């Protein structure tokens, strides 16, 4: 299966905001009892705003044959920031590794890094009927590859993300190579996973 990866910024430049919003509305997150999934809310209602404010760059992944939206991911050049109290809770080994890629600013520690802010597969009927699909691993690999590209321009050694404290998510990210930042919860009340970027020549 062939895919096309298109920046949301380029899509807006090509077809305008109104038509781009129609494309984004093709995305449906996994059904939750509690309501709409965060990734669906982001891509439909916040991604254009974040793009215009330069808070993140969103990449849309389309099936090459059908042009159906398969998924998306959003990246940002955002340091991982934690309080001194939280930093000192880390193991000595983890403190040493992160210290080598960051700095202390006042009472906070900042690790120069990229953030995978959002990542999501499209679970819409259109995707199901077309038999087009992309796996979570494939989507995360695409996001990671873009991070590696960016790290060649803006030097950073780590990429991080936030995730819910759900067993299958923890296993998924750890299998990819991410490590949990132990005893640390983000401002959003989520776990933080971090991965050292391996640059290719």
Res 201: pLDDT: 57
Confidence of residue 84 (pLDDT cuts 50, 70, 90): confident
Specify the number of domains making up the chain.
Answer: 1
Candidates 51, 61, 59; CA nearest to 2 is 61
Q: Does the residue 201 lie in any domain?
A: no
R_g (Cα) of the chain, nearest Å: 18
pLDDT tens for residues 97-134? 888 888 888 888 999 999 999 999 999 998 888 878 89
pTM of the model: 0.91
Residue-number span of the structural domain to which 84 is assigned: 3-196
Domain CATH code at residue 19: 3.40.630.30
pLDDT tens for residues 132-164? 889 999 999 999 999 999 999 988 999 999 998
SS3 state of residue 88: helix
| Other Cβ atoms closer than 10 A to 172 | 16
Beta-strand ranges (E) seen in 85-157 are: 102-105, 108-111, 113-121
Q: Does the residue 87 lie in any domain?
A: yes
Q: Which DSSP string corresponds to 13-73?
A: HHHHHHHHHHHHTT--PPPBTTBS-HHHHIIIIIHHHHHHTTS-EEEEEEETTT--EEEEE
Confidence of residue 47 (pLDDT cuts 50, 70, 90): very high
Q: Does the residue 123 lie in any domain?
A: yes
């Amino acid at each position: 299966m062939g895919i096309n990866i298109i920046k949301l910024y380029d899509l807006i430049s090509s077809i305008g905001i109104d038509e781009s919003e129609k494309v984004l509305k093709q995305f449906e997150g996994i059904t939750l009892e509690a309501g709409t999934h965060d990734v669906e809310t982001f891509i439909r209602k916040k991604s254009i705003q974040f793009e215009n404010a330069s808070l993140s760059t969103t990449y849309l992944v389309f099936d090459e044959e059908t042009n159906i939206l398969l998924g998306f991911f959003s990246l940002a050049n955002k340091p991982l920031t934690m309080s001194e109290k939280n930093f000192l809770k880390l193991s000595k080994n983890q403190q040493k590794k992160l210290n080598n890629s960051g700095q202390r600013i006042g009472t906070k520690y900042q690790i120069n890094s990229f953030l995978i802010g959002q990542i999501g597969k499209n679970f819409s009927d259109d995707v199901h009927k077309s038999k087009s699909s992309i796996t979570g691993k494939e989507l995360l690999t695409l996001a990671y590859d873009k991070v590696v590209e960016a790290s060649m321009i803006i030097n950073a050694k780590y990429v991080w993300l936030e995730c819910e404290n759900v067993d299958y998510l923890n296993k998924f990210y750890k299998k990819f190579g991410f490590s949990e930042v132990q005893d640390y919860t983000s401002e959003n009340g989520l776990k933080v996973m971090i991965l050292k970027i391996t640059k290719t020549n």
